[in-house]
Amino acid sequence: MTLEALSTRADQLRVEIGKVVLGQEDVVDMLIIALFARGHVLLEGPPGTAKTLLARSFASALALDFGRIQFTPDLMPGDVLGTSIFNFDTNDFILTKGPVFSEVLLADEINRAPPKTQAALLQAMNEQMVSIDGQDHPLGDSFIVVATQNPIEQQGTYPLPEAQLDRFLFKVLVDFPPEDVEMAILQQHAAKPVRARGETDGIQTVLDPAALAESRKIIDSIILDDGILAYVLRLVRATRETDDIAFGASTRAADSVALATRAAAALSGRDFAIPDDVKRMFVPALRHRIVLGPAAEIEGRSPDMVLESILSQIEVPR
């Protein structure tokens, strides 16, 4: 496969998802980059901004097994992973697999469940396998989690633990669309029967497991030169040296920025990365991996504002 073919497949994914989800082009781009970069995505936004529809549309465009977990306060880890049930006929335990045994997993409203249940996904997201009753069960190389959450200020939410957040390649903010796009959405829905089902029926599958594997090989072939890597490292280390951030980004975070940069470069049709690729990936890859300092919180500054400030201060390589 060539870089041109990879870009074509990415464009096809954008077109198919855009048939159902309007006005979220940047969010769709982040999902596609994460897919090819073998990363997971956390979508955060208020209710009614099509986060779940976006995740379902994304899965519909892929010929991959789809699973969904609706996170609730009473959800238990066994509801996510599955449980072993004793079979009296065979005198043995049989595993009843949970929804995590899929290739595209939608973790809907993940911060509605307590941390114990949220943590059930830690091993799956990091190692593409789960351990149940002392036995390891692989989930496959195509496994990706697309999680949605409401802003943590809303009632009935539990903040995700730092270890859980660190497993997501990106945290993508989903906002309300512009007025003209919102009108187009209303017009699209007004042309359909009330309570019409099958919102994603018009989406065609454009990527199967074999094509996904080929696409990821292209990403693997992108090599970052030392100048780009040094730029990534300077940016990440700057998050540990500013008073605006109490806990800066880790080495894993720097590796995540570099990985996302490789995917962004390939999807732009290049076999090399440029500083603009790093800048584009920096905030989505780090906004959930830092903890603001007291002064920044008192001043009402957001993680994005602090990270953008770091971007403006660090010299860009030539």
pLDDT in tens, 224-266: 999 999 999 999 999 999 999 999 999 999 999 999 999 999 9
Check whether residue 189 and residue 261 sit in a common domain: no
Does residue 20 belong to any structural domain of this protein?
A: yes
Check whether residue 260 and residue 299 sit in a common domain: yes
Does residue 207 belong to any structural domain of this protein?
A: no
Does residue 67 belong to any structural domain of this protein?
A: yes
- pLDDT on residue 185: 87
Show which of 194, 212, 241 is a domain's final residue.
Answer: 194
Of 275 and 46, the one with more pLDDT: 275
Check whether residue 142 and residue 231 sit in a common domain: no
Check whether residue 241 and residue 286 sit in a common domain: yes
Does residue 69 belong to any structural domain of this protein?
A: yes
Instruction: Tell me what percent of the residues of the chain surpass a pLDDT of 90.
Output: 53
Check whether residue 237 and residue 114 sit in a common domain: no
Check whether residue 29 and residue 156 sit in a common domain: yes
pLDDT at position 91 over 80: no
Does residue 200 belong to any structural domain of this protein?
A: no
**160 near 118, Cβ under 8 Å?**
yes
pLDDT at position 306 over 90: yes
CATH number, position 298: 1.10.8.80
CATH number, position 60: 3.40.50.300
Q: Which two tokens stand for residue 279?
A: 């800048």
Q: What is the average pLDDT value for the chain, to the nearest integer? A: 89
**5 near 222, Cβ under 8 Å?**
no
Does residue 182 belong to any structural domain of this protein?
A: yes
pLDDT at position 184 over 70: yes
Does residue 169 belong to any structural domain of this protein?
A: yes
Does residue 264 belong to any structural domain of this protein?
A: yes
Check whether residue 181 and residue 241 sit in a common domain: no
Q: Look at the chain and report how many structural domains it folds into.
A: 2
pLDDT in tens, 186-199: 888 888 776 655 56
Mean of pLDDT values over 5-13: 91
**270 near 261, Cβ under 8 Å?**
no
Check whether residue 107 and residue 244 sit in a common domain: no
Check whether residue 187 and residue 237 sit in a common domain: no
pLDDT at position 10 over 70: yes
- In angstroms, the Cα distances linking 140 to 81, 102, 288 are 15, 9, 26
Give Cβ neighbours of residue 218 (< 8 Å, ≥ 6 apart): 1, 2, 3, 6, 36, 266
Check whether residue 54 and residue 164 sit in a common domain: yes
Domain hosting 265: range is 222-313
- In angstroms, the Cα distances linking 178 to 24, 148, 269 are 10, 21, 29
CA nearest 262: which of 221, 233, 232?
A: 221
Check whether residue 244 and residue 173 sit in a common domain: no
Lowest-confidence region among 107-111, 150-154, 258-262, 297-301: 150-154
pLDDT at position 200 over 80: no
Residue 147 — pLDDT band, cuts 50, 70, 90?
very high
Residue 144 — pLDDT band, cuts 50, 70, 90?
very high
pTM: 0.90
Q: Which two tokens stand for residue 40?
A: 């997971």
Residue 11 — pLDDT band, cuts 50, 70, 90?
very high
Residue 307 — pLDDT band, cuts 50, 70, 90?
very high
Show which of 175, 194, 213 is a domain's final residue.
Answer: 194
- pLDDT on residue 43: 94
Give Cβ neighbours of residue 78 (< 8 Å, ≥ 6 apart): 98
Check whether residue 175 and residue 59 sit in a common domain: yes
